[in-house]
Amino acid sequence: MKTFWEGWTDTQTADGTVRVTTPTGHTYTTKPFSSLLFPSWNTTTGPPPPSGTTPPRRPGRSLMMPTRGRTRAQNRAARITRERELNALQRQHDRNAKPQPQQHNTAITPEPDCGDDPPPF
C-alpha cells in the first residue's frame, strides 16, 4: 500500500532495523528477527551506495494500483458455473460410453499340494 499512496517513507539502518513513517506522522520500527535469536551476533553491514533522487510526486499516482477485472463474487460464480459445466459434460460422457465386456478368469488353478502337513504349512 505504501508503494502507491503518498506520504509513506521508510528507512533501513545497517543493522537491519526498518522505520516506516505513515502519512499521519506515526513511526513504526521493526528489528530483524535474528537480533532476538542471536543477540550477540553482529549483523551490521557497510553503508549502502548513494541513492538517486526520489522522483517528484505526481497527482493520481494511486491510480496506478492494479484493479480487478471482476469482483471476488463474480470470480467465484464463474468458477462454480465452469465446474458445473465440466461435471455435466463428464456425466454425459459417462452415460454415452459403451460398457466394456466383463472378462472372467476361466483358468482354473490347481490347489497346492501341502501333503499331510497341518496348517500353517
pLDDT digits over 67-83, tens only?
A: 889 999 999 999 999 99
Euclidean distance between CA atoms 95 and 89, whole angstroms? 10
Helices (H), 5-49: 34-37
**Shortest CA distance to 42 belongs to which of 31, 34, 53?**
34
Instruction: Give 58's DSSP letter.
Output: -
Euclidean distance between CA atoms 18 and 29, whole angstroms? 6
Identify the pLDDT of residue 56.
79
pLDDT per 10-residue tile (average), the chain, 121 residues: 74 86 91 82 76 78 79 97 97 88 70 74 54
What residues does 18 pair with on adjacent strands?
Answer: 12, 30
Euclidean distance between CA atoms 106 and 44, whole angstroms? 79
Per the listing, cell 499512496 goes with 5
